[in-house]
């Protein structure tokens, strides 16, 4: 089955034209198979609708399920119940119903994820790590490198590091490579898991500006931002989680 076939479906309620993500009735629990099969309920009927130009902060106590929702929205975790509708091109797809190869297509074009940690591969340069998603989309190498170099410069990543593997980079340097990798792609939806946690004030501000630009271009942002100043500067509203 191709993504094309699934796009004939749509959410059961009428959504406004600028909605890009609509998650409804999300339940998620974990079964700890090696600990007596204990069941740990985490998300209980979570709902979220995000429109173009919005930035929603996921807030709440540690352990309340913020990362679990983010990983579910990216298809890393399967959910027990619920629907996760994403506007993919001009059609709606329910992530929950997609096959793995279709999820990959959605991740290439529609939903970007800035995780806290960069997956590094020895001997692959920072430039190549960051350009990979653009190259997978078929963008030519020179254009992809140009885009990444511009972002690296904005993010104050020293030029002497660009050709090196990020294996030995500091936490903040790795995080900036990760941010450039995601923000280089014109995704309409971004998931941001503490994207500034390892950055100093100057670079935090650069990231806030880059994300503000994405918002003004009509992207929908959903994120966990422990830094209150970043949250206040960027977010249009919050979704608060309680411990179940
Ligand atoms: N893969 C997993 N297997 C089992 N339990 C998990 C798994 N991932 C998360 N949990 C549990 O789910 C609950 C919610 O975790 P989650 O990481 O979503 O919380 P959070 O709100 O993001 O917390 P924090 O602010 O500390 O990062 C926690 O009790 C955690 O132990």
Give a yes or no: residue 87 inside a domain: no
Residues 6+ apart with CB under 8 A from 130: 148, 151, 152, 177, 180, 181, 184
Give a yes or no: residue 28 inside a domain: no
Q: Tell me the residue range of the domain where 201 lies.
A: 51-76+98-241
pLDDT tens digits for range 141-170: 999 999 999 999 999 999 999 999 999 999
**CATH number reported for the structural domain that contains residue 226 in this entry:** 3.40.50.300
Give a yes or no: residue 108 inside a domain: yes
Distance 95 CA to ligand 1 centre (A): 21
What number is the average pLDDT over the span 23-44?
Answer: 92
pLDDT of residue 2: 44
- The total domain count for the chain is 1
Give a yes or no: residue 173 inside a domain: yes
Give a yes or no: residue 42 inside a domain: no
For ligand 1, mutation pick of 59, 64, 195 (most atoms within 8 Å of CB)? 64
pLDDT band at 115 (very low <50, low <70, confident <90, very high): confident
ipTM above 0.85, yes or no: yes
Residues with CB under 6 A from ligand 1: 30, 40, 42, 62-68
Give a yes or no: residue 22 inside a domain: no
Give a yes or no: residue 222 inside a domain: yes
What is the atom index within ligand 1 of the atom nearest the CA of 71?
Answer: 18
Give a yes or no: residue 154 inside a domain: yes
Q: Closest by alpha carbon to 207, among 195, 219, 225? A: 195
Give the separation between CA 107 and CA 74, rounded to whole angstroms.
8
pTM of the model: 0.93
Residue 219 clears pLDDT 50, i.e. is over it: yes
């Amino acid at each position: 089955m191709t993504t094309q076939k699934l796009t004939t479906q749509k959410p059961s309620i009428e959504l406004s034209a600028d909605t890009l993500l609509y998650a409804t009735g999300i339940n998620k629990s974990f079964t700890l198979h090696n600990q007596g099969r204990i069941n740990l309920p985490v998300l209980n009927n979570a709902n979220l609708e995000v429109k173009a130009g919005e930035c929603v902060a996921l807030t709440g106590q540690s352990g309340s399920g913020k990362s679990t929702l983010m990983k579910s929205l990216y298809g890393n975790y399967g959910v027990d119940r619920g629907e996760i509708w994403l506007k993919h091109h001009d059609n709606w797809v329910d992530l929950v119903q997609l096959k793995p190869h279709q999820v990959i297509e959605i991740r290439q074009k529609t939903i970007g994820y800035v995780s806290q940690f960069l997956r590094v591969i020895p001997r692959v340069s920072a430039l190549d790590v960051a350009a990979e998603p653009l190259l997978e989309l078929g963008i030519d190498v020179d254009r992809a490198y140009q885009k990444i170099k511009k972002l690296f410069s904005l993010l104050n990543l020293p030029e002497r590091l660009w050709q090196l593997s990020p294996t030995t980079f500091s936490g903040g340097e790795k995080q900036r490579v990760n941010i450039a990798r995601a923000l280089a792609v014109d995704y309409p939806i971004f998931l941001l898991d503490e994207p500034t946690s390892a950055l100093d004030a100057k670079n935090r501000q650069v990231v806030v500006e880059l994300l503000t630009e994405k918002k003004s271009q009509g992207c929908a942002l959903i994120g966990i931002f422990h830094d209150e100043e970043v949250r206040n500067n960027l977010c249009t509203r919050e979704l608060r989680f309680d411990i179940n």
